């Protein structure tokens, strides 16, 4: 029977717990099952699916299994946090201000696949050289890839933000969402109120 390949997918909580047990020296499905209060059969099925992509069956200095690079990534905490500041929280229709975003690697391992995602209503324009732009119906999405961040390292990025009023409105308050993303996972989010007046 062919093994199920799990490469390039995020592992779930059970898979992550199994990888931790193996990494810490458990040398059989039975020992993992005892640690996780599951049956050996359940564990063996998941371990078979994890093999090749996430783990290799061979004796190392900790136990009988060695985690692959993807397996180690699955158990390392990859967390990026963001701090934000709008230079002007209120602007006139069509005027521009600056949004500062400070991204920090708050985890214990380097981040090489991380980006900042800014989500705004279609009446807000956000610009930054090197960013990717997505028009998602009534929202504008801007994604900016980050350089590799080592644990504790920060990167500051500024974006130009311009606001427009909807037809006939004399003022509007919009939400700007700033999201931190690592390996397809959102790890932090900030919301800012942005006022546009006539």
Residue pLDDT, tens place only, 146-184? 988 888 899 999 999 999 998 878 999 999 999 999 876
Using the predicted structure, report yes or no on whether residue 11 has a pLDDT greater than 80: no
Domain boundaries, the chain: 13-75, 80-197
- As a whole number, the mean pLDDT across the chain is 86
Residue pLDDT, tens place only, 90-111? 999 999 999 999 999 988 777 8
Conformational region of residue 73, where left means phi above 0, alpha means psi within -120 to 50, and beta covers everything else: alpha
What is residue 60's predicted lDDT score, i.e. its pLDDT?
A: 62
Using the predicted structure, report yes or no on whether residue 5 has a pLDDT greater than 60: no
Residue pLDDT, tens place only, 14-51? 888 888 888 777 878 888 888 888 888 888 888 888 88
Mean pLDDT (whole number) for 3-13: 53
What is residue 85's predicted lDDT score, i.e. its pLDDT?
A: 96
Fold of the CATH domain 13-75: Arc Repressor Mutant, subunit A (1.10.10)
Secondary element (H or E) of residue 16 = helix 13-23
The candidate with the shortest Cα–Cα distance to 118, out of 133, 97, 137, 98, is: 133
pLDDT band for 115, please (50, 70, 90 cuts).
very high
What is residue 111's predicted lDDT score, i.e. its pLDDT?
A: 81
By residue count, the chain amounts to 198
Mean pLDDT (whole number) for 55-68: 72
Query: How far apart are the C-alpha atoms of 1 and 94, rounded to whole Å?
Result: 63
Q: Whole-prediction pTM value?
A: 0.66
Fold of the CATH domain 80-197: Immunoglobulin-like (2.60.40)
Query: CA separation (Å) from 51 to 44, 47, 67, 107?
Result: 10, 6, 9, 26
């Amino acid at each position: 029977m062919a093994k199920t390949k799990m490469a390039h997918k995020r592992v779930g909580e059970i898979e992550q717990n199994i990888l931790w047990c193996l990494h810490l020296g458990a040398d059989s499905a039975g020992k993992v099952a005892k640690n996780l209060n599951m049956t050996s059969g359940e564990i063996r099925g998941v371990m078979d699916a994890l093999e090749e992509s996430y783990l290799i069956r061979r004796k190392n200095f900790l136990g009988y299994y060695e985690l692959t690079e993807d397996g180690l990534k699955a158990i390392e905490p990859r967390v990026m946090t963001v701090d934000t500041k709008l230079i002007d929280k209120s602007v006139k229709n069509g005027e521009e201000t600056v949004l500062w975003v400070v991204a920090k690697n708050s985890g214990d391992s380097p981040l090489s696949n991380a980006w900042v995602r800014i989500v705004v209503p279609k009446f807000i324009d956000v610009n930054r050289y090197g960013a990717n732009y997505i028009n998602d119906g009534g929202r504008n999405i801007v994604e900016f890839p980050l350089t590799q961040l080592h644990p504790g390292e920060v990167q500051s990025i500024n974006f130009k933000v311009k606001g427009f009023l909807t037809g006939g409105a004399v003022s509007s308050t919009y939400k700007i969402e700033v999201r931190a993303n690592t390996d397809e996972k959102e790890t932090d989010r900030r919301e800012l109120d942005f006022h546009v007046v006539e």
